Chains A and B, each alone.
Chain A
């Protein structure tokens, strides 16, 4: 992605009120932002709303962006929007890990095109279980792990997004992964044998 100079230029123009320039940036980041929101909120519609809201907020507050990683800044606004939404929810119904895919709204794992039908089924089952496990861990840990493992940010960038120290990032990711693993171990029987977490192999 060698869009750095472009990005700086687009940002400069956006700051001066060039909405078209900002929309180029949106187009570039919208998939990432939407997926972040989707992982955090687990509902397609809410994630869509949060994504739109985050882009609106970022355009309005563009003067507050003081250089550095625009992606991290954008993710910060998006994750704050998600936190607002999560807080607004009365009592978030814990996603039931026992009945995968019963609800169309909670289709966390879009179908993909794996080579063989069996492979595809197994992969899909694994992803569904993993996505549900991810949805069930604490928000901070989910955000840190999503940023790290799904979005591929390094710890420094995650610390920028989450406005916390590197140590906090480190411990959120470590604790989140341990938690994910124990959930997957509990759910091991739902997984195809070759995907079962180590330690539980039979």
Chain B
């Protein structure tokens, strides 16, 4: 009588058993199993035959002498050099290309910020007003949607890199209904928008908003800031009325434009206090990035060529 639960076929061990390479206890266990299992005995026989057939494969005589000549012994090993250099160079070249692409993207962001910021000299004031940000984050109430907290946490670092625009300084409600309703409600958490590094028209909208005091109307959205392009404004209003809980990039700046002084009283003064010294920083960053892009791409092209010439 066999007990399958306790007696699995030791298939994987039959080879080791055949080669006398099993530990003593396992040899005993396999031996005991073989005594009662014809299947495994047959398998072991088959393996034994296979092993002997493999052993019987005739050896090919060496086709020639492989004795080394003094030249063979002295020539520098060509293999490792040939195999390794291209791999390293390719990795370096790819890395530089990636870095170049990253810097080009950053440069594009900075350029957009720079040009859009020129329409309003206030644009960088807000960037340099982290206090406003912090104030807004702390006023975040229960209306804040999930993920707003992380959005607000991420913002300071965005500002530090100089890629965020003034939107970041102004509170944007996560809940659209709150925006339209009361001024208090619009002091929502800082949206994930700013953390996303959005740049398109927003940069030009927000500064206007912070510098101008817009009277808040009861209906909210009906009052549109002059600097806001009409299409953006309408799109925003529609979304707000739909009650979309997640504020997206296009609505963010505009929403802010309503509420500034009333909704976020802490934000506006802080933004207004800072001066416009950020222009130079952006230009500087742009220049550095441009140089980096050129160097990276040039390097990615030239390095493999140089490496090839070396060989």
Shortest Cβ distance from residue B64 to the other chain A in the assembled complex, whole angstroms: 7
Report whether B47 and A34 are in contact in the complex, using a CB–CB cutoff of 8 Å: no
Instruction: Return chain A residues, CB-CB under 8 Å to B57.
Output: 109, 127, 130-131, 150
Whether A56 is near chain B, meaning CB under 8 Å from some CB there, is yes
Whether B54 is near chain A, meaning CB under 8 Å from some CB there, is yes
Report whether B42 and A197 are in contact in the complex, using a CB–CB cutoff of 8 Å: no
Report whether A30 and B79 are in contact in the complex, using a CB–CB cutoff of 8 Å: no
Contacting chain A: which of B67-75, B149-157, B162-170, B262-270?
B67-75
Given contact pairs A53-B79, A59-B73, A34 touches B63 in the complex (Cβ within 8 A) = yes
Interchain CA distance A56-B67 in the complex, whole Å: 9
Report whether B50 and A184 are in contact in the complex, using a CB–CB cutoff of 8 Å: yes
| Closest partner residue, chain B, to A127 (CB atom) | B57
Report whether B73 and A19 are in contact in the complex, using a CB–CB cutoff of 8 Å: yes
Instruction: Return chain B residues, CB-CB under 8 Å to A134.
Output: 54
- Please provide the chain A residues from 55 to 84 with a CB less than 8 Å away from any CB of chain B in the complex: 55-57, 59-60, 84
| Closest partner residue, chain A, to B39 (CB atom) | A199
| Closest partner residue, chain B, to A19 (CB atom) | B73
Interchain CA distance A131-B65 in the complex, whole Å: 25
Given contact pairs A26-B67, A57-B79, A180 touches B62 in the complex (Cβ within 8 A) = no
Shortest Cβ distance from residue B75 to the other chain A in the assembled complex, whole angstroms: 8
Interface residues in B, total, Cβ within 8 A: 38
Interchain CA distance A44-B64 in the complex, whole Å: 12
Shortest Cβ distance from residue B154 to the other chain A in the assembled complex, whole angstroms: 44
| Closest partner residue, chain A, to B56 (CB atom) | A127
| Closest partner residue, chain B, to A57 (CB atom) | B77
Report whether A34 and B62 are in contact in the complex, using a CB–CB cutoff of 8 Å: yes
Interchain CA distance A148-B73 in the complex, whole Å: 31
Which of B42, B72, B83 counts the most chain A CB atoms within 10 A?
B72
Interchain CA distance A134-B53 in the complex, whole Å: 12
Instruction: Return chain A residues, CB-CB under 8 Å to B64.
Output: 48
Interchain CA distance A51-B65 in the complex, whole Å: 10
Shortest Cβ distance from residue B13 to the other chain A in the assembled complex, whole angstroms: 8
Interface string of A166-192 (1 = CB under 8 A from B): 100011011101101100100000000
Report whether A27 and B67 are in contact in the complex, using a CB–CB cutoff of 8 Å: yes
Q: Of A38, A55, A131, A174, which is within 8 A of B14 by CB?
A: A174
Report whether A51 and B15 are in contact in the complex, using a CB–CB cutoff of 8 Å: no
Instruction: Return chain A residues, CB-CB under 8 Å to B45.
Output: 198
Whether B51 is near chain A, meaning CB under 8 Å from some CB there, is yes
Interface string of A2-35 (1 = CB under 8 A from B): 0000000000000000010011001100110111
Whether B11 is near chain A, meaning CB under 8 Å from some CB there, is yes
Instruction: Return chain A residues, CB-CB under 8 Å to B50.
Output: 177, 180-181, 184, 197
Q: Of A57, A152, A170, A198, which is within 8 A of B46 by CB?
A: A198
Interchain CA distance A155-B21 in the complex, whole Å: 7
Given contact pairs A34-B63, A181-B50, A197-B49, A174 touches B58 in the complex (Cβ within 8 A) = no
- Please provide the chain B residues from 66 to 125 with a CB less than 8 Å away from any CB of chain A in the complex: 66-68, 70, 72-73, 75, 77, 79, 83
Instruction: Return chain A residues, CB-CB under 8 Å to B79.
Output: 53, 57, 84
Seen from chain B, the residues whose Cβ lies within 8 Å of a Cβ on chain A are: 11-16, 19, 21, 42, 45-47, 49-51, 53-68, 70, 72-73, 75, 77, 79, 83
Residue pairs across A and B with Cβ atoms less than 8 A apart, 13 shown, are A27-B67, A34-B66, A56-B72, A59-B73, A126-B53, A127-B53, A131-B57, A149-B54, A177-B15, A177-B47, A177-B50, A197-B49, A198-B45
Seen from chain A, the residues whose Cβ lies within 8 Å of a Cβ on chain B are: 19, 22-23, 26-27, 30-31, 33-35, 38, 44, 48, 51-53, 55-57, 59-60, 84, 109-110, 112, 126-127, 130-131, 134, 145, 148-150, 152, 154-155, 166, 170-171, 173-175, 177-178, 180-181, 184, 195, 197-199
